[in-house]
Structure 1
Amino acid sequence: MKNVQTKNTQYQRIVYMICLIGALGGLLFGLDQGFIANSLSTIDHVYTLNISQGENYSAVLAWGGILGALLSGLFARTLGRKKVLVLAGFLFSVLSFVSALLPPLAILVACRFGLGFAVGVASFTVPLYLSETAPTSIRGGMATLFQLMITIGIFLIAATNVFIAKILGHTEISLRLMFAVILIFAFVMFLGSLFLPESPRWLMLKGKHDKALDVLNKVRSSKEEIQKEVAEIKESIAVNQGSGAAMLTKGFFWKILLVGVVLQMFQQLVGINMMIYYAPTIFGYAGMTGLIALLAIPTVNMLFTFPAVKWIEKWGRKKLLYFGAVIMMVSMFSAGFAFLSIHESGPSSITNAVLLLSAIVYIFGFACSWGPVAWVICAEIFPLKGREIGMTVTTMVNWTFAGLVMANALSFMKAYGNYSIFFVFGGFCILSMVFLKFFVPETKGVSLEKIEKNLEDGVPLRQLGDTESTPQAPVQTVPQSA
């Protein structure tokens, strides 16, 4: 009886540790992503940056994220999931600490690039580690928790930066404290990751079966559960070992990879990172500097990630993306017309109200649709053997276009008028709906195996989720519909 109680206590402790690393990995992702929004004015004051320099500092996180996403798969395979998490936590801690010392601008930019690298690594490795290590009963919750904690991190850093600046002003002390907030959570993640068990799947992949069983004995509650998982891991390794590169010779894989690439491209080209990073700056152009203007975007982004978890299974992926695209299109055009009116007649209470409401509605539309759903579809449409390649490439594309938006949004507004960029992003919302109609399948309620079989059988891309789809006839002379 005592042994059973000891095992249950150990099991609960490890599970709590897994929950902690999942939460902190997502939180740090959000903290670093949301840092710029309400700290850019302080950075500008301390380092006397112009618009272009501010954009470059903001965007360098994305360039680091691209490199992190590219190398994370290699790191996870060679070093192991745990060591990569330790590395990410170490980088978060050291680079946040150096940033808090307010070094010369070149070093500060290099630190942000390194933080982007750590974010890219964590965004790949944390969900992978959780899916391989967390008990089945909480695995789905962990995936949801990771996404939710990103939005909480964005909100938390936005709120703390606002209050630090309000209390202390745009001073060096303020900026040090802003970086210190990230440092605290980064150090906790680093220490916590040192005590995590290694992924049992990775241990078995490396032939360390005894160590894998030791881990499973700690993180699973019964022998039956352990035996079932060992069998599943062995089968998965046998099916997928050394097969990823072979997918690059398959025409159908390149087609579905293009769908994932364009999907992630549109996730950024609808304008989300302009709103996440620069909303306070944009509102400032209209003379809006109150707490509502400063915190509305991160607050709504966090709150409306919750319903997406339910709606994605109730409505389906494609319908939710359509819904979000329409909402974002209308709100972008509304914001554009509000800024056009401000450009011609100056700000007024009506135009400011329209601008603020448009931004809030836009974030609602994104948070409950394109924010989480684009990632879900990318995780579902790739064949098992090419899933790691597909996710790596599409993640890099997402970071690339995020960087392009961050590096050019404010300069574009300065060159062509504050209203111009809203019409551009509204146009991309329209194009995204055209893409959805002709190329993106509905994957709700369809097994991954069925999607993969339809893809291999030559079923048109937008019909991959049809459970009764039939292969494309080889004698057809009309170009295949997507």
Structure 2
Amino acid sequence: MPIQSTSNKQYKKIVYMICLIGALGGLLFGLDQGFIANSLATIDHIYELTTTQGEHYSAVLAWGGILGALLSGIFARILGRKKVLILSGFLFTLLSLVSAFLPPLEILIACRFGLGFSVGIASFTVPLYLSETAPTSIRGGMATLFQLMITIGIFLIAFTNVMIVKALGHFEISLSLMFSVIVIFALIMFIGSFFLPESPRWLMLKGKEDKALKVLRRVRSSEKEINDEIAEIKESIIENQGSGIIMLSKGYFWKILIVGVVLQMFQQLVGINMMIYYAPTIFGYAGMTGIIALLAIPTVNMLFTFPAIKWIEKWGRKKLLYVGAVVMMVSMFTAGFAFLVIANGGTTPGAVPKAILLISAVVYIFGFACSWGPVAWVVCAEIFPLKGREIGMTVTTMINWTFAGIVMANALSFMKVYGNASIFFVFGGFCILSMVFLKFFVPETKGVSLEKIEKDLEHGVKLNKIGQR
């Protein structure tokens, strides 16, 4: 039976629906990640948490994320991309709703762990689904949209939480409303996922070519485009069958896997999640509780994700990571010294060190959002040979969540024991170590094909020389 092209109107309708659900997946990721920043004081007030308990509640999202990242590939392979999106939307909705009723602390913590699990599987499955389903012409835009919506989600929940507290104070109704914001968007994603088509690549993996063709008729604009994609999918399935296991027997794959692991480790050890999660708390230690102090970090994080999209191709990955590390190092050390001055200023520290602390934090976020935030993920996606990419991305994502949890679970306690300035010097030191690592072990992947990377790895080319002509 000949394949008929879909109408332009119908084509746009389904493509926009795919974009919307992808955007909601990223938005929910950001909402849950950014939730703590301006809600922790309210949670502490209602549940009477100690510093350690507050850190534990914050960090449990990461522990759930590790499990989600570990199982997401298995779920996506067995259940299909669409069913995993439905599952993720359901968990987001249910667990946020239960949290909104302010259950006992143990249940609230369990819900946050479950939300971390949902974030873990969504962060893997949504980009995978978009890359396999969206038309080639907008795939790059979809990847950018997902990352951008994460930062928008972080800003949105920070803003709404601040407004709720300013209007109602640190009371039970405020915390219920904070969780309800997540429930609304989660419910839209859950319901919307039922109307999405399944990934044509997954259908082909399961031998359902007829159903794959039906999906492609809805999301592609010509018979040639459909036939070409079917042929590409078939070739890819044959070439990559069992390839992940094979790659584990290759010594060069383990080398590049270690590079990816350390890169993601440094992405967290430069201190980003301390700033995303605890910036309002840290500013509060310095006597800064105004709107600017509460919203500066999520706002800058969102706005300066845009330049990275352009700079990553203009400057290259490695140079951008270098620049970001330098900016973050200077900012962290400056913030540390500002806190030392504030600590020596008694109960009424001057306005100058406070201003320096705030500016340093903003510059730090600028440095991260333009470099290590998006670029570390891009490099990890590019350094792995195609046949080992799924394993490489799963492992490096789990490492990212692990060190995110370590930072979240210990940052405030570290400051309490060693002084408020101490943590900034520690993270500044990790920025220096990250530059050393970049110099000796990280290749520049801009404009280098996956085939070139794999060939250089096989031939024993030094890691930092891979891809060079």
Q: Into which bin does the TM-score normalised by the smaller protein fall? A: over 0.9
- SS of the residue 2:443 aligns to: coil
Residue of structure 1 in register with 2:264 after alignment: 264
- SS of the residue 2:243 aligns to: coil
Provide the C-alpha distance between the structure 2 equivalents of 1:198 and 1:455, rounded to a whole number of angstroms: 36
Amino acid at match of 1:256: I
**CA apart distance, 1:139:** 0.5
Residue of structure 2 in register with 1:30 after alignment: 30
Provide the C-alpha distance between the structure 2 equivalents of 1:6 and 1:123, rounded to a whole number of angstroms: 30
Provide the C-alpha distance between the structure 1 equivalents of 2:350 and 2:399, rounded to a whole number of angstroms: 39
**CA apart distance, 1:113:** 0.1
Residue of structure 1 in register with 2:217 after alignment: 217
Q: How does 1:229-248 map to 2 (within 5 A)?
A: 229-248=229-248
**What is the RMSD of the two structures over their aligned residues, measured on CA atoms?**
1.0
**CA apart distance, 1:137:** 1.1
Which range moves more in the overlay, 124-133 or 8-17? Answer: 8-17
Amino acid at match of 1:142: M
Provide the C-alpha distance between the structure 1 equivalents of 2:102 and 2:345, rounded to a whole number of angstroms: 41
Provide the C-alpha distance between the structure 2 equivalents of 1:6 and 1:229, rounded to a whole number of angstroms: 16
- Is the counterpart of residue 321 in structure 1 residue 350 in structure 2? no
Q: Which consecutive aligned stretches of 4+ in structure 1 deviate over 6 angstroms post-superposition?
A: 3-6
- SS of the residue 1:103 aligns to: coil
Amino acid at match of 1:295: L
Residue of structure 2 in register with 1:375 after alignment: 377
Which range moves more in the overlay, 50-59 or 341-350? Answer: 341-350
Q: How does 1:1-400 map to 2 (within 5 A)?
A: 7-346=7-346, 347-400=349-402
With normalisation by structure 1, the TM-score equals: 0.96
| Maintained 8 Å contact 2:264/2:396 | yes
Which among 452, 456, 459 is matched to residue 454 of structure 1? 456
With normalisation by structure 2, the TM-score equals: 0.98
Provide the C-alpha distance between the structure 2 equivalents of 1:282 and 1:9, rounded to a whole number of angstroms: 51
**CA apart distance, 1:6:** 6.7
Deviations 1:107-152 (A, max 9, x none): 0000000000000000000000000000011100000000000000
**CA apart distance, 1:45:** 0.8
**CA apart distance, 1:85:** 0.4
Structure 2 stretches of 5 or more lacking a match?
A: none
Provide the C-alpha distance between the structure 1 equivalents of 2:153 and 2:331, rounded to a whole number of angstroms: 25
Provide the C-alpha distance between the structure 1 equivalents of 2:236 and 2:10, rounded to a whole number of angstroms: 28
Deviations 1:332-369 (A, max 9, x none): 00000001111122321010000000000000000000
Provide the C-alpha distance between the structure 1 equivalents of 2:423 and 2:13, rounded to a whole number of angstroms: 50
Provide the C-alpha distance between the structure 2 equivalents of 1:108 and 1:419, rounded to a whole number of angstroms: 32
Provide the C-alpha distance between the structure 2 equivalents of 1:340 and 1:447, rounded to a whole number of angstroms: 48
Deviations 1:231-257 (A, max 9, x none): 111111010011111111110000000
Residue of structure 2 in register with 1:472 after alignment: none
- Is the counterpart of residue 435 in structure 1 residue 466 in structure 2? no
Amino acid at match of 1:33: Q
Amino acid at match of 1:180: S
Judging changes above 3 Å, is the alpha-carbon distance between structure 1 residues 264 and 138 closer, same or farther for their aligned structure 2 residues? same
Provide the C-alpha distance between the structure 1 equivalents of 2:381 and 2:113, rounded to a whole number of angstroms: 27
Provide the C-alpha distance between the structure 1 equivalents of 2:256 and 2:19, rounded to a whole number of angstroms: 33
**CA apart distance, 1:320:** 0.1
Residue of structure 2 in register with 1:474 after alignment: none
Deviations 1:46-105 (A, max 9, x none): 111110000000000000000000000000000000000000000000000000010000
Provide the C-alpha distance between the structure 1 equivalents of 2:158 and 2:4, rounded to a whole number of angstroms: 46
Which range moves more in the overlay, 454-463 or 409-418? Answer: 454-463
Provide the C-alpha distance between the structure 1 equivalents of 2:375 and 2:324, rounded to a whole number of angstroms: 10
Amino acid at match of 2:396: T
Amino acid at match of 2:80: G
Amino acid at match of 2:327: I
Deviations 1:409-428 (A, max 9, x none): 00000000000000000000
- Is the counterpart of residue 416 in structure 1 residue 418 in structure 2? yes
Deviations 1:419-464 (A, max 9, x none): 0000000000000000000000001111111111111111110111
- The percent of aligned pairs where both chains have the same amino acid is 82
Q: How many residues align?
A: 465
Amino acid at match of 1:259: V
